[in-house]
Amino acid sequence: MTIGKWDGLETAAHLKAGEVSAVEVIDAAIERCEQINPEINAFIWTCFEKAREEAARCDVNAGALSGVPYAIKDLGGSAAGEPTSLGNRFFKQKPIVSPIDDNVIARLRSSGLVSIGRTNVPEFASGNCPGASENEAFGDTRNPWNPAHTPMGSSGGSAAAVAAGIVPIAHGNDGGGSIRLPANANGLVGFKVSRGRISLGPAGGHLAEGTATEGVVTRTVRDTAACLDALAGFEPGDPYSCFAFETPLLETIETKGQRLKIGFCRVNELGPIHPDTVDVV
């Protein structure tokens, strides 16, 4: 079985059918990480034994994504007892350790996803962002499609982990393109949700006045829909909120909708657009 080629929902389906165990799935992700991470530097911290223990206890029928491995971006996703370094040399030596899961990680955990580690970011998600995911603390993350190229940022480590087939889903966040740009550079699915769609609490409710949002990068639209179904929703203390989905997104994407008119701009204030890009669009 080529577990690394399955998306999250396909992995979950095999688990629910008893065709593979959660421990086998996690072991496959760990093996792939150990094989390719030295080349692409997507993960800067791992929790393999903890992941194996969670997988061994996992009820694969409990949630839509139960037993599926994922990665957490090392910025914005606080998990209880895990170090957060923000791509910074000081915090690499003295990491921030949250006593609790923040709301986005708590919801991902409730969906049944099992984290195998944390992924690289540009320092504080700024500076050379969104051009790359590199820092002096952990080094450069490389694009799995071509290690001579960047995966972009700031969710570049997460995008590289998914594109490399280590995990099918990875946490990310986006203020000015930090999910969308790495998704584009790595051939993945990623978009920025509306303000208030996903809770930033309990500590980050006013982050950039809500213009920075949490989310995921995946290989398929349906995985992204499943994750957003799990993530969306108001939590007490959130300063912003969105209307609730009338129908789960995972159901919505299977429904034929109205024809849409999609516009795009051929002018970029940052510089000229390459003719090949214009031709493809």
Catalytic amino acids?
73, 154, 178
Distance CA 229, CA 219 (A): 16
Distance CA 37, CA 74 (A): 16
Give me the torsion for CA of 130, 135, 138, 144, rounded to 10°.
30
What sign for the dihedral angle of Cα 173, 175, 248, 161? Answer: negative
CB-CB contact of 87 with 123 (8 Å): yes
CA dist list (Å): 64 to 41, 129, 180, 226: 29, 33, 24, 8
User: Around 187, how many Cα atoms within 13 Å sit in the side-chain half-sphere?
Assistant: 7
Distance CA 97, CA 53 (A): 21
Task: Look up residue 27 and give its two tokens.
Answer: 């072991």
Residue bearing tokens 């350790």: 97
Distance CA 254, CA 240 (A): 29
| Beta bridge partners of residue 189, listed in sequence order | 218
User: If we measure between CA atoms, which residue out of 98, 111, 121, 117 comes closest to residue 61?
Assistant: 111
Distance CA 13, CA 19 (A): 9
Distance CA 110, CA 112 (A): 5
